[in-house]
């Protein structure tokens, strides 16, 4: 088996789910695609990361998860769920 050279402590599973970035008290949303997902975080595809705050809620269906950005490029970002394993801020 290949070794996991990733920096995260929890493996993520590939997925392709439509989601929304929700911020500004729920008044602002940005469509995104969840590309991989774990209990601790996710990788998101977005048209642009411009205007996305460092912390926001990720809406996936009926689920709303508070998260913060760990890294970002021009069209992708990695987020950590703030409520993962009781580590809410």
The whole-number average pLDDT for the span 63-88 is 87
pLDDT of residue 13: 78
**CA-to-CA separations, 55 to 2, 4, 5, 52, in angstroms, rounded:** 33, 27, 26, 8
Hunting for tokens 């929890």 — which residue is that? Answer: 10
β 41-45/55-60 pair status: unpaired
**pTM attached to this predicted model:** 0.80
Distance CA 81, CA 89 (A): 10
Average pLDDT, the chain: 86
CA atoms within 13 A on the CB side of 14: 0
């Amino acid at each position: 088996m290949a070794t996991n050279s990733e920096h995260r402590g929890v493996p993520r599973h590939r997925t392709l789910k439509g989601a929304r970035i929700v911020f500004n008290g729920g008044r602002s949303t940005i469509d995104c695609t969840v590309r991989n997902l774990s209990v601790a975080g996710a990788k998101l595809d977005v048209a642009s990361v411009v205007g996305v705050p460092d912390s926001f809620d990720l809406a996936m269906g009926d689920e709303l998860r508070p998260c913060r950005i760990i890294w970002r490029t021009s069209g992708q970002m990695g987020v950590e769920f703030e409520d993962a394993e009781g580590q809410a801020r």
